[in-house]
Amino acid sequence: MHVLFADSVDESGLAPLRAAGHTVTVDPSLSVEDLAAHVVGVDVLVVRSTKVTADVVEAADRLAMVVRAGAGTDTIDVSAAAANGVYVCNVPGRNAVAVAELTMALLLAIDRRIVDGATDLRAGQWNKSEYKKADGVAGKTMGIIGLGAIGRAVARRAVGFDLRVIGLHRQGRSAEAEAELATIGVELVATQDELLARADIVSVHVPGGDQTDQLVDATFLAAMKPDAILLNTSRGSTLDGDALLHALNTTGLRAGLDVYPNEPSGGTGDFVSELASHPRVVGSHHVGASTDQAQRSVAAGTVEVIEAFARGEIINCVNMEHQQVGAALITVRHRDEVGVLAQVFEILRQAGINVQQMRNEVFRGGRAAVAIIGVDPCPTDAVLDRLSAVPEILGLECVVWTDG
């Protein structure tokens, strides 16, 4: 395979791909404007911050997978990839510790006024009388919005600083995550309003996308305590910049930000931002995941995804339909012999029945197998009779999911 890394990567972790005979190209200079011209002949595209648009997907002739070297996939046109049969996979949790560390660093820098103090020292000013004034964080309440891998990593560190941690109760959270939150000691509350009203510190750790766009808006900020601290190391799109500026200017709110609504897309450049330069903001340069430890871990996770793909396995895929689709589910137990499934598919094709999902697994010993096939529309009794008449079919069941 030809694997193109369109962003910088810790190259020490790429040896397994090269050793396996894959062609590996690393070109972090590629921009969204010229990426489309470089995906021809590429089987796997790996990106971190570079956007993958529909034009890039359409321009590719062999592209089978896009890997986001991180958790969020909002910079990738996932729908366009799905429409073209391209897997979109991510590497969740590998940079959680790095982002959590920066979150706590921003909190402590705000409370102890580290940036202002260091600036004065570098200017030759000694002002102990001013900078000895600090609240301290022990005993305060941190509300975490988004209790994924990063949010839980922040919670573990917050508890170590004697903070009380609260989060939102959410249906569908995995049993493992619920158990981890209980072990950490996170109290789960019913509503966001309750969390915001109780929290002295609010830390945001949500993915980008329509559901979180401008999550931190005027209503959100008005629900917070007027002297609270807001931390955001997730996505700039989660912030309503004007609303946050108004809150900073009219209340005692302070903010620690690693991301901004209008931040530059490149690694360097001019950045004129009222928000980033506000005296009540401590900011960093969207570097939450940018530690050497995190980059090595993300590179290793990315290689694992690609190696699995080369073995015929798909892990961490975000654009496959995992729910049962189709009008009916046909289970076919059959001899594990050449051409059996070809006969099944031909009978379905002749009946105008589309196969929407399918998996085939072999029984121990390799003499028989079972195919589970999601189809639409429902097969008629006549079609099922034709399938059952195939000599190599050992048994057949059909479950109707809809009225078809």
Q: For residue 326, what pLDDT is reported? A: 76
Measured between alpha carbons, how far is 49 from 313 in angstroms, rounded to an integer? 25
Q: Is the pLDDT of residue 403 over 70?
A: no
- Range in 247-261, 316-330, 388-402 the model is least confident about: 316-330
Residues annotated as catalytic are 235, 263, 286
pLDDT digits (tens, 9 = 90+) for 245-274: 999 999 999 999 999 998 987 778 899 999
pLDDT digits (tens, 9 = 90+) for 363-378: 999 999 999 999 999 9
* pTM for the model: 0.79
Residues 6+ apart with CB under 8 A from 335: 367, 368, 369, 392, 393, 394
Q: The tokens of 269 are what?
A: 């450049």
C-alpha to C-alpha distance for 169 and 188, rounded to whole angstroms: 5
Structure confidence at residue 317 as a pLDDT band (50, 70, 90) = very high
Mean pLDDT of 186-200: 98
Band of residue 402 on the pLDDT scale cut at 50, 70, 90? low
Per-residue pLDDT tens digits for 123-162: 999 999 999 999 999 999 999 999 999 999 999 999 999 9
Q: What digits encode the pLDDT tens for the residues 115-128?
A: 999 999 999 999 99
Strands 23-26 and 2-5: parallel
What separation in angstroms does the CA of 223 have from each of 44, 114, 140, 192, 351? 45, 28, 17, 9, 59
Residue from 71, 121, 117 nearest 91 by CA: 71
Give the phi and the psi of residue 261 in degrees, each rounded to 5.
Answer: -60, -30
Domains recognised in the chain with CATH numbers: 2-94+293-310 (3.40.50.720), 96-288 (3.40.50.720), 328-400 (3.30.70.260)
Mean pLDDT for the stretch of residues 220-234: 97
* pLDDT at 404 > cutoff 50: no
What pLDDT does residue 70 have?
Answer: 87
Buried b (16+ CB within 10 A) or exposed e, 29-65: ebebeebbebbeebbbbbbbbbbbbeebbeebeebeb
| CA 87/CA 99 separation, integer angstroms | 26
Per-residue pLDDT of 48-106, as tens digits, reads 888 999 999 999 999 999 999 988 888 899 999 999 999 999 998 899 999 999 999 99
Please give the mean pLDDT across all residues of the chain: 93
